[in-house]
């Protein structure tokens, strides 16, 4: 059975790009969110195997969203998506429990490598 995924990003074109990359690799996108509040609600509703989470989003930052998801589910498998120059935020996200990250603009192979590493870490 394919891994289920929640994609959270405030940019519709980024959600579409991630959806195409992940579904093309056999993942099943069960929900999308355009801000952190929606992401937390969608996580609680769908309990996906994997979350791709933008670091900078409206209403609730990616890091606060990550913390809330991990509080609800300490085993949540989250991959952060960040822009170049957000290294400090990436480190904060990893410290908060993100399994991996990918830097925008990204390529499909980078996304798939990060989600594969994250899923493998989650299984350990």
pLDDT per position as a tens digit, 23-45: 999 999 999 999 999 999 999 99
* Mean pLDDT score, 41-55: 96
Q: What is the CATH number of the domain that holds 19?
A: 3.40.50.2300
Q: Any alpha helices (H) in the chain, and if so which ranges?
A: 12-24, 36-46, 62-72, 87-95, 108-123
Q: Give the residue with greater pLDDT, 84 vs 43.
A: 43
The overall average pLDDT reported for the chain is: 92
Domain count, the chain: 1
* Mean pLDDT score, 39-59: 95
Q: What is the pTM of this model?
A: 0.93
Quote the pLDDT of residue 86.
74
Report helix angle 108-123 to 12-24, nearest 10.
70
Q: Give the residue with greater pLDDT, 37 vs 86.
A: 37
Q: Which residues contact 80 (CB under 8 A, 6 or more apart)?
A: 53, 54, 55, 62, 66, 90, 93, 94, 98, 100, 101, 102
Domain that holds residue 16: 4-123
Quote the pLDDT of residue 82.
87
pLDDT per position as a tens digit, 106-123: 889 999 999 999 988 777
């Amino acid at each position: 059975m394919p891994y289920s995924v929640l994609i959270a990003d405030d940019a519709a074109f980024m959600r579409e790009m991630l959806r195409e990359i992940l579904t093309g690799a056999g993942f099943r996108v069960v929900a999308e969110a355009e801000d952190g509040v929606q992401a937390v609600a969608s996580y609680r509703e769908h309990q996906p195997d994997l979350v791709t989470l933008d670091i900078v989003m409206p209403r609730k930052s990616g890091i606060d969203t990550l913390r809330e998801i991990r509080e609800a589910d300490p085993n949540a498998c989250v991959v952060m998506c960040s822009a170049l120059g957000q290294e400090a935020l990436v480190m904060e996200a990893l410290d908060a429990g993100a399994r991996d990250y990918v830097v925008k603009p990204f390529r499909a192979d980078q996304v798939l490598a990060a989600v594969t590493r994250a899923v493998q870490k989650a299984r350990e």
